[in-house]
Amino acid sequence: MFKHHSALGLATALRPVQPVTLLRPHAASRAARFFAEKFPGRSLYAVKANPSPDLLQVLWDAGISHYDVASLGEVRLVAETLPEATLCFMHPVKAEEAIAEAYFSHGVRTFSLDTIEELEKIQRATRNAADLNLLVRLRVSSDHSKLSLASKFGAQPSEVKALLMAARQAADALGICFHVGSQAMSPAAYGEAMSRVRDAIVEAAVTVDIVDVGGGFPSWYPGMEPPALETYFEIIHNAFEALPISYSAELWCEPGRALCAEYASVLVRVEKRRGSELYINDGAYGALFDAAHIGWRYPVSLVRDEASDAREMAFSFYGPTCDDLDHMAGPFMLPADVQAGDYIEVGMLGAYGCAMRTGFNGFGIEDRVIVEDEPMASLYTDIPERKRATNVITL
């Protein structure tokens, strides 16, 4: 894999025709060290956010030893990439064959569930193994988060007592987990969810060994500037300490976006301008899926070797395919003189952007280059000018 100092140096030297994914291993390593050192418990990387083997190795080297896997494909990937890693199968609905292979072939001992049926499936698939860590997933609110995860999974309050009691009988270690939704903008999301955990423990009167607060930890995007992550950690720690659990109980979390958003950005070329619409060579079927389908706004910068004096204006993007759905409404703020042939860096795409790329319509080819400069925004640095993106990158 090639290395370059910066997006600007790459664009100037190579004038790439295809989109280029810019990788910043130092940013992912910094985020991983932050969680490993400051979260008051164990951090499991949520592999679905970005399953790149290179990234998995970066996170491992920075102190992340446990991985939240949600499919047999992810189990196999992490087991092959990091043979010594601990895998936790945290999807609440799994194929029985997947459970069996994970347990017998890859040493997985931790599984989540949200129904009695799933518990029975796990027991059958593992032949009633006595060394299981079973985490019961509660349904909690996603009101504080930009993307809800409150509909698909999680046991309802009326189901939790019986499920916890049954899981306690089958588990070596019993846990409770939840997910407050993606991009939680308030630490209160975790405080409220932990209140549900407390109620569940009291009602079921069971000994709980693990409390897993899931993912949802935010990153920085335009219009989404979250509080410091330490504030989230403090609220979680205080709530955990107040739970009716033993002193030996473990606290877990499952950051995905927060560990990898700053890892990657994409350098795109403007192929055409039509008023305030820019036709670029990546889009909804590439790294900008979320920008198209849920209106996610990413930071953008015009990458040009001569500074622009033009005022900023709002643009929308069209991707390269022949599909009208390949449209990113934005608004994306860029200098008004942007034109065909210019390059734009779209930042904070390490989470989900890189993972969602397809080859639809014959597009999807990309180069990957390691760059040494800082990401366009960061929650892990004290340098004020890196807290938010600027709109023009120049020499």
**Known catalytic residues?**
322
Cα(286)–Cα(361) distance, integer angstroms:
11
Give the C-alpha distances (Å, rounded to integers) separating 184 from 84, 344, 382, 384: 31, 28, 22, 23
What tokens were used for 124? 């059958």
**Reduced to 3 states, what is the DSSP secondary structure of residue 344?**
strand
User: For residues 29 and 263, is the Cβ–Cβ distance under 8 A?
Assistant: no
CB atoms near residue 71 (< 10 Å)? 17
The widest CA-to-CA distance across the chain, in whole angstroms, is: 69
CB neighbour burial string for 285-318, b if at least 16 within 10 angstroms, e if fewer: bbbbbbbbeeebbbbbbbbbeeebeeeeeebebb
Give the C-alpha distances (Å, rounded to integers) separating 136 from 34, 106, 153, 300: 28, 22, 11, 40
What tokens were used for 246? 């033993």
Give the C-alpha distances (Å, rounded to integers) separating 290 from 67, 193, 216, 330, 357: 24, 26, 16, 11, 11
